[in-house]
Structure 1
Amino acid sequence: MHQRTLGKTGFSVSEIGLGTWQVGGKWGEPFNAATADAILNAAADASVNFIDTADVYGDGASEAAVGRLVRARSERIFVATKCGRRLQPHTNAAYQPAALRGFVEDSLRNLGLDTLDLVQLHCPPTDVFYRPEIFELFDKLREEGKVQNLGVSVERVEEGLKALEYPNVAALQVIFNMFRQRPAELLFKEAKRRDVGLIVRVPLASGLLTGKFGPRTQFGPDDHRHFNRDGAAFDKGETFAGVDYATGLAAVDELKAVFPGPGALAAAALRWVLMFDAVSCVIPGASRPEQLTSNLHAADLPALTAEQMAAVRGVYERRIRPLVHQLW
């Protein structure tokens, strides 16, 4: 597994990590500890050393599973978790240093760890990015040894650019994929200039870019791909990267012609993300160990050709950009 440096954290992380949202639910299956442990151990066996979780994934069950892995393995495994989404309502006013401190301490207990390698604000409302006292809290937590680094998971490019203005922000997590290309413009350049690591989530557009879905594909009622297409539960950009399903399928058909063959599009979509040197790590999820193995195959692919990169850009410009580019 190739490694890259996660910005000013100095961590040398596997360029393909593991996102554990799927492990924690909202993908149509209830949390299953045995499945979670199997996926996590398969990742460590394959030299994946960066795992992203959150306190809301499975209401702490995902963090607990990640903690079991870290405590049981001899390898150095970097853990990134998130805080803030437990606030109800999830508003700017609810973001208070005391509440966030409590969430960090809860995560430490869930994980069974003494310190957090990276804690990320979990897609806070835009106004939070203009409140220095929220960011200053994490300097205090670092002095206390509870966290090592602060990151921010964002929905919009503008939020990411604002987060970069805080010197203690060491990593930025963004949605970036063949259907969400705007971050590669200004945001990637600024993150690289400030030595801030970039963690890419939703690289397969909630599975659309696997090429396995069709017009008749059904998603269960507990799967966010069923209930959140219009943003009923959270930002709709987290579901299919904000692209309406029919448009996404049409774009995928074109991309399959560029990357023909079983499983070729999914692997190419991950390799496409890794073509951008500002990216530190991409964190596809997995619902079972076989999906993890398939995702990791992308790290061994040769670089995409200039013609392939241009073809991907062409599909985006024609079908996707007019619908989503300005939104996030």
Structure 2
Amino acid sequence: MVDSAFAADDFIRAQLSAWQRELASVRRLAANTLEAYGRDVDQFLGFLAGHAGGPVTLSTFKELRGADIRAFMAQRRNESLGSRSLARVLSALKSFFRFLEREGVLASEALNVIRTPKLPKSLPKALTVTEARDTISTTGELEERPWVAARDMAVLSLCYGAGLRIAEALALTGSDLEAQSLRVTGKGGRIRLVPLIDAVRKSINLYIGLCPFKPYPSQPLFRGVRGGVLSPRLIQLRVVQLRSALGLPPSATPHALRHSFATHLLSRGGDLRAIQELLGHASLSTTQIYTAVDTDRLLESYRKAHPRG
């Protein structure tokens, strides 16, 4: 595969940059997604350049066939890329070529004949209510500095008590906190209001009272020990400690607390569309996976409790 820096001519490079700007400003994709999409298309350009024997040009794209894309996807699979990553690669390529078509640069049918790889169905792994509570309450026992313990408890409380993604929790500012709710900026820049229950509010207030740093209302609330914005890696490492202390499985992660939030709400009669709004899912089909989780948990309880289970 040719070095991506030399894989395309200046015109194609300019189109690639324009596409990435559109993804960032119009579609407002997350930084990680933007980086992955850019890397995927760069690798495709490198692949084409290797076969063409020189930089990719508009003529190269005009001669593109479905077989070329299949060959690239096969190469990526041979490099041990999983189905989910392959699906993302195909999504990135389709997005780029749709952009070229909208701009009147090129109309290609090559990608239309490529099917998205089948994705394995994997259910979110939720903790039990006791495990989720213990994960939060035990945090203080692993940290000598009271304000750091309060900080980590508050972040984990937001994941379980408000269903936030860890990135959403760490992006919260003082101005996002209201008396009874949180203003959360989720994926794609979508903003939602999430009810703030007393236990979560108390954990946040405890942290704010103990924290030696006082960020402005417009700045992220959660800080590292030197006053900088808190890294998600530190919370992930804290949960690794908690897994060891509590004997929890490797699936116990900060994101598993968010899964637990949804699963426990559903098991107690929560409305699926309300849970969708709380989680910030764009589609109800994404939220519906928790119905399967709840059914699995019921079946497991049945097997354990029933005499003929």
TM-score by length of 1: 0.26
Q: Which has the higher contact order (CA 8 A, sep 6+)?
A: 1
**Which protein shows a greater Rg?**
2
**More strand per residue:** 1
**More helix per residue:** 2
TM-score by length of 2: 0.27
